[in-house]
Amino acid sequence: MTHTRGDLFDPVFGAGSDTAVAAQVSDHAWVAALLEVEAALTRAASTAGLATAEQAATVTAVAARLAAPGGIDVADLGRKSAAGGNPVIPLVKILRAACAEHGVPASAVHVGATSQDVMDSALMLLSRRAGRLVLADLRAAANAAAELARVHRATPMVARTLGQQALPTTFGALAVSWLTGLDDAAEQLERALSALPVQFGGAAGTLAAVHPHGLTVADALADELGLARQVVPWHTTRTPVAALAAALGVAAGAISKPATDVTAMASTEFGEVAEDAPGGSSAMPHKQNPVAAITARAAARRVPGLVSTVLSSMDHEFARAAGAWHAEWETVCDLLRLTGGAAHRLASSLGGLRVRPDAMARNLDITGGLILAERVTGALAAHTDAARDIVTAAAASGTPLDQAPEITAHLTAGELRDLLDPAHYLGHAVDLVDRALASRTTGGHP
C-alpha cells in the first residue's frame, strides 16, 4: 500500500494507511479502480454492439474477482509496469487472459482504449471517492466552527492585528472567519469533484478504433462510472486535474487559518482555548500541546508544493505527454491524503475545543484600556481638536486613559467607565456572527 511517507509519520499527519482517505488511494484501490474502468468500458462497448451483453457480464465478474484482495499481486504488477511506463499494459494482459478462460475474446477487453484512458478515468474515480471523504471532514470542521460561533457570538476577546492587540471583538466573530473560509473551500472542492470527467480518446484522442461509435461509448462509459461526460478527450488538456489540485490547495489554506489561531490561542501566555485531548511532552510534564491543530497545520503546509507540481505539469505536448502525465498519479493521491489528514485533524481540534472566556477577559484588560483608545479619542474629539494627540501622549506615557488629566478635564468618570468597557465597543461583531450563521443556513450549508 502506498504512503505519503510511511507507517511511522503518516498517522501524525492524519494520513495513515488506516484512514478512509488513504484506503481510497491505496495501491489496491488503484488496481481495483483500473479494473472497474475496464469492466465499465466493456459494458459501454456493448451498448454500441462492440461487445455482447454476455461478454460484458463476464468481464465485469472476472474484473471484480481480480479486484478482490489477493486477486492481483500488486508488487508483481508494479514490476511489470516499468517496461511500459504504466500498470494498465500488464493489467490488461492479465484481465484478457482471465476472461479468455470463459470464452471472452481479447477484442472485448480494453475496447478502443489507450492506457491513459484507463489511468485517467481511474484517477478521477479515486479522486471523487477520496475527495468526498475530504469534503466530509472539511464540512465537519466548518460545522464545529459554526457551533463555536453560535455559542460564543457575544463572548468578548481581543482582536489582534500584526501581532498586536487592536480592538475588542468576540470569539464568535473569529470563529466566523474560520467557518466562512472552510465553507468557501468546501464549495470549491465540491465543484471540482463534481466536474471530474471520464477519459476516453483512444490512441491519439480521435476514437478511431471505435468509429463511428466513439462518442456513444464515451458517454456510456461516463454514465457507467458515475463521472461527468467529457466534451472531448482531454489527454493533454489537464484543467480537470489542475482544478482539483487547486481546490485541495485552497482547502489546505483554509484549514491552516484556524489551526494557526488555535495554536497561538492555546499558548501559555494567551491561554484562551485548549483542545479536548491535548498532547504532552516527553520532557516537560506540564505541557498541554494543541497537537491536533499543530498537525493539521503541518499536513496543510505540505500541500502547496504538491499543487505546484500538478500546475507545473500542465504543459502536455501534442496528443500524449512524456513524463508530465506520469507525474500526476502519486502527486494527486498525496494531495488527497494530506488535505484529508489536515481536515480530519482540524475537525478533531475544533470539535473538542474548550473556550476560556475568563482568559479572554483577562487579556482584554492587560493594556489598561489602551485598546479602547480609538473610542476615547472619538468621544474626546467632541470637546477638543487635539483629541488624538492627547490620547496618543497618554498611551505613550503609560498613563491610564481614565486618569490622564487632559482627558478627565473633558470626560467624566462615568463616561470613561463606559468608554473603556470592551463589551460596549464590539461594533457589529455580534451582527456579523448572526449574519454569517443565517446565510450559512439559507445558503444550503450544513
Q: Dihedral sign, CA of 217, 220, 224, 227?
A: positive
Q: How far apart are CA 130 and CA 119, in angstroms?
A: 16
| Burial (CB count within 10 angstroms: exposed 0-12, middle 13-18, buried 19+), residue 441 | exposed
Q: How far apart are CA 159 and CA 142, in angstroms?
A: 21
CA 337 vs CA 2, 24, 89, 211, 371: distances in Å? 11, 9, 26, 39, 43
Look up cell 504538491; give the residue: 306
Taking Cα atoms as reference points, which of 261, 268, 102, 236 lies closest to residue 176?
261
Grid coordinates belonging to 81: 509496469
User: Using an 8 Å Cβ cutoff, are 306 and 331 in contact?
Assistant: yes
Catalytic machinery residues: 281, 320
